[in-house]
Structure 1
Amino acid sequence: MWTIPNILTSMRVLLIPVFVVVYFLDWKWAHQAGAFIFWFAAVTDWFDGYLARKLQQSTAFGAFLDPVADKLIVSAALLMIAHTYQDPWITVAAVLLTSREVFVASLREWMAEHGQRDSVKVSFVGKAKTMAQMLALIGLLSELEYFMGFPIYWVTLGKILLLIATVLSVWSMVVYLKAAWVYLVVEPKKHG
């Protein structure tokens, strides 16, 4: 069970309270340090999947924990940016993104119970949403518009990417729902 990919995934879960505490420290660079921890966790997400395939160390535990770890740290980050910015657009985006994750996870679980999990497997739109969302969260968590006096506009870019991630999120949810719809409207078999 304790393969390198599973250790990386477990580390990502353990980083969540560290990430939250560091972000809210009363320290000048706390938000940037929190953004760095979030970035590091995102990188470990890519590595654990890559290593699981490369080293042929895929496990049932890893298949379960990996998406859970992702959803936990992203949900924490979305709550944190909604709190930090107190901007209605960011809050609406955070609510939509979080709601979509719960909806799609539940839909996938329901479809798996009915032997149709492949109907709602991750699509290109879902992967694009994840990339835009991760980059948006890093930018918004960092609160950097300038670095060493040079304009880098991370927050502005983060807001744009968050909007793109939200649109892609709703779009991918509709795609998954459309693929599952035929199975959702079938009358359940009655057992007598």
Structure 2
Amino acid sequence: MFNIANQLTLGRILFIPLLVVVYYSPLEWKYWYSAALFGLAGITDWLDGYIARKYGMDTPFGAFLDPVADKLMVAVALAVLIEAHADVWFTLPATVIIGREIVISALREWMAELGARAKVGVSMIGKVKTTLQIIAIVLLLAFNPASYPLFNKVGYITLYVAAILTLWSMIVYLRAAWPSLKGAK
């Protein structure tokens, strides 16, 4: 159960409070350090899945914990950034992303109860969305928005593209699940 892939996933969860503490610390390099922690978490997200598949370390615990770790890391990073940016133009895409994660998690749980979890498996749109989210969050964590407006704008644009893909992937998943949700056999 506690193989290297699952340990990487657990490590990603342990990064969450560390990210918050570093971001709010008085450290001169807090932006870079918090971005590095988030980026490292993003790398472990890819790495734990790769190791699990390549070396046959897939476990039910890992299958449960990996998406939880991903969603927690993204939601907490976005919550920190919502407070830091404190405007509607940041809060809007951030809440779309967080809201979608809640909806899709509930949908996957419901579909699993129906024995149809595969209908809402991870898609390529979801993978691209996740990659763009990671890039946007790293950019937004790494640079003080007041000191680096260009990087802030690039981060916002990337976050908006991720939010659009977030909505698109949610629609794809809901359409795939719709017959099961409305009770059709």
Q: Which residue in 1 is equivalent to 2:9? A: 9
Distance in 2 (alpha carbons) for counterparts of 1:131 and 1:28: 28
Extract unaligned runs of 5+ from structure 1.
146-150
How many aligned residue pairs are there? 184
- Is 1:185 the counterpart of 2:182? The answer is yes
Distance (whole Å) between structure 2 residues aligned to residue 73 and residue 37 of structure 1: 10
- Cα distance in 2 for residues equivalent to 1:127 and 1:55: 22
Where relative contact order (Cα < 8 A, 6+ residues apart) is larger, the structure is 2
Contact kept in structure 2, 1:15 and 1:41, CA below 8 Å: yes
- The Cα shift of 1:27 comes to 1.9
- Aligned residues of 1:144 and 1:153 also touching (Cα < 8 A): no
**Whole-Å separation in 2 of the counterparts to 1:27 and 1:15:** 17
Query: Does the CA contact (< 8 Å) of 2:104 and 2:170 recur in 1?
Result: yes
Superposition deviation, residue 89 in structure 1: 1.2
1:105 is aligned to 105
Deviation at 1:118, TM superposition (A): 1.0
Contact 2:93 2:163 in 1 (8 A): yes
TM superposition shift of 1:183? 1.0
Shift of 1:144: 5.8
Per residue, is there more helix in 1 or in 2? 2
Secondary structure class of the residue paired with 1:8 = helix
What is the TM-score normalised by the length of structure 2?
Answer: 0.94
Which letter maps to 1:127?
K
Distance (whole Å) between structure 2 residues aligned to residue 57 and residue 14 of structure 1: 21
One-letter amino acid of the structure 2 residue matched with residue 172 of structure 1: S
Structure ID, larger Rg: 1
- Runs of 4+ aligned residues of structure 1 deviating over 4 Å after TM superposition are none
- Which ranges in structure 2 are unaligned for 5 or more consecutive residues? none
2:65 paired residue number: 65
Could you say which residue in structure 2 is the equivalent of 1:171? 168
C-alpha RMSD of the superposition = 1.8
1:23/1:56 CA distance change after superposition, 3 Å: same
In 2, the alpha carbon distance for the partners of 1:186 and 1:3 equals 39
Percent pairwise identity = 45
> Following the alignment from structure 1 to structure 2, what is the Cα–Cα distance between the partners of residues 187 and 59?
31
Distance 1:187 1:179, change over 3 A: closer
Residue 133 of structure 1 is matched in structure 2 by: 133
